[in-house]
Chains A and B, each alone.
Chain A
Amino acid sequence: MIVGERKPLSEIMELLSGAQKVLVAGCGTCVTVCFAGGEKEVGILASELRMKSKLDDHPMEVEEATVQRQCEWEYIDPLLERLDEYDVVLSLACGIGVQAMNERFSGVVTLPGINTTSLSLPVEQGIWEERCQACGDCLLGTTFGICPIARCSKQLLNGPCGGSQEGVCEVDSDTPCVWQLIWDRAIEFDQVKRLLDIQSPKNWSLSRDGGPRKIVREDLQLESE
């Protein structure tokens, strides 16, 4: 899922400086399940903002709204009718949601209340580990389902570097060496030989290196021009 983290209150207060009436807008999808920007977090932040601004002697009027998905027009359009009441919208959605709001509603600016951090797996309660970098050219099929792009500090494609120490990454001792994990899994399936093929350089043009990416599915478009 897309994972984010709430910005510190001080940073949010700075972003909102000068605003009198604010709408805190949450999203009911990814950021809800990672506890960063769902209905509850919207309530907490709105309450914090009301209290903080009151204590700072510039009380803000803060209201709350959470939509099912802030990254789809259908879900955010119903917000339009109440938007002109606000000086600013503070979105607790991911970066996509914030931009969707700004693209859809020209009259009011939407500011980010969280930092969108990663595509992560909630490995246990309260811990999210990065698992995907959306590189655009999935190689999980050659690495026994474990991604060296997202999980190797150096994004190596042909085995571990010299810094792999007893299964731990030299960059961060909390990070397992992903090539150790891949190797162990290859042994488990008795297919170590498959790892001995040299991988040629990855096609990064399918990732961010090729510029902003765009998918066009003509079969899904309502009308073609």
Chain B
Amino acid sequence: MSNGLRSERAFDPKIVAFCCRHCAYAAADLAGAMRLRYPHSVRIVDVPCSGRVDPLEMLRAFERGVDGLLVAG
């Protein structure tokens, strides 16, 4: 998607979701298997445990321009 197109359309927030491998990541997997619809602009990052996510990684995400962050355990 080009930048021009992006700005003309409604704002499509880029969300990063840090997902626990055993809970939310599996839930996301299931959501896919169930053909559930959810915003495509979410980027899922698989982590071994949501406790693994630390402030440094979250800050780096914002620094690189992510609009919102979801930590799902």
* Chain A residues in the interface with B (C-beta under 8 A): 40, 43-44, 47-48, 50-51
**Residue with the highest number of chain B CB atoms closer than 10 Å, among A40, A44, A47, A48:** A47
- Complex contact A51–B54 (CB within 8 A): no
Given contacts A43-B56, A47-B59, 11 further A-B contacts (CB under 8 A): A40-B56, A44-B55, A44-B56, A44-B59, A47-B56, A47-B60, A47-B63, A48-B59, A50-B63, A51-B59, A51-B62
Near A by CB (< 8 A), chain B positions 42-68 give 54-56, 59-60, 62-63
Say what secondary structure dominates the interface of chain A: helix
List the B residue with the shortest CB-CB distance to A43: B56
Q: How many residues of B contact A (CB 8 A)?
A: 7
Q: How far is the CA of A119 from the CA of B41 in the complex (A)?
A: 49
Most chain-A CB neighbours within 10 Å: which of B54, B56, B62, B63?
B56
| Complex interface: chain B residues within 8 A of A51 (CB) | 59, 62-63
Which residues does B use to contact A, with CB under 8 Å? 54-56, 59-60, 62-63
Chain A residues with Cβ below 8 Å from B63 are: 47, 50-51
Q: Complex: how many Å from CA A43 to CA B55?
A: 10
Question: Please, which residue of chain A has its CB at the minimum distance from the CB of B62?
Answer: A51
Report the minimum CB–CB distance from A92 to chain B (whole Å). Answer: 14
What's the nearest-Cβ distance from chain B to residue A80, in Å?
27
Measured CA separation A82–B59 after assembly (Å): 26
Closest chain-A Cβ to B58's Cβ sits at a distance in Å of: 9
Residue of A nearest to B54 (CB): A40
Residues of chain B lying within 8 A (CB to CB) of residue A48: 59
Q: How many angstroms from the CA of A47 to the CA of B64 in the assembled complex? A: 10
Q: List 15 A-B contacts (CB under 8 A).
A: A40-B54, A40-B56, A43-B56, A44-B55, A44-B56, A44-B59, A47-B56, A47-B59, A47-B60, A47-B63, A48-B59, A50-B63, A51-B59, A51-B62, A51-B63
Q: Distance (Å) between the CB of A64 and the closest chain B CB?
A: 11
Chain A proximity of B12: nearest CB distance (Å): 22
How far apart sit A50 and B56, CA to CA, in the bound complex (Å)? Answer: 13
What's the Cα separation between A52 and B12 when bound, in Å?
A: 24
A15 to chain B, nearest CB (A): 20
In chain B, what residue has the closest Cβ to A41? Answer: B56
A40 to B54, CA, bound (A): 10
> Which residues of A sit under 8 angstroms from B62, Cβ to Cβ?
51
List the A side residues contacting B55 at CB < 8 Å.
44
- Residues from chain B with a CB closer than 8 A to the CB of A50 are 63
Residues in B with CB closer than 8 Å to A43 are 56
* Smallest Cβ-Cβ distance to A54: which chain B residue: B63
Query: Please, how many angstroms separate the alpha-carbon atoms of A48 and B59 in the complex?
Result: 7
A39 to chain B, nearest CB (A): 10
* Residues on B with beta carbons closer than 8 Å to the beta carbon of A44: 55-56, 59
